[in-house]
Amino acid sequence: MFKIPAHLLVVACMVCCATARSRAETPEEWVALGTRVHGFFGGFIPAGIRIGLDARERLKAEPRTLSILYYQGEKAPCPCVVDGVMLATQASPGQGTVRVATEKAPPGLMAVIVIRDRNNGEGLRYNINDEWLPKMLAWNKDDPLKRYDDAMTADGLFTVERLAPQ
pLDDT in tens, 42-85: 999 999 999 999 999 999 999 999 999 999 999 988 899 999 99
Could you tell me the pLDDT band of residue 94, with boundaries at 50, 70 and 90? very high
- Domains for the chain: give ranges and CATH numbers: 25-163 (3.30.1330.130)
pLDDT in tens, 119-146: 999 999 999 999 999 999 999 999 999 9
pLDDT in tens, 6-35: 333 333 333 333 334 435 699 999 999 999
Rounded to the nearest angstrom, the gap between the alpha carbon of residue 19 and the centroid of all alpha carbons in its chain is 21
Cα 123 to Cα 165: distance, rounded to the nearest angstrom: 6
114 neighbors 128 (Cβ within 8 angstroms):
no
For the chain, the straight-line distance linking the first and the last C-alpha, in angstroms and rounded, comes to 57
Helix axes 44-59, 81-89, angle to 10 degrees: 40
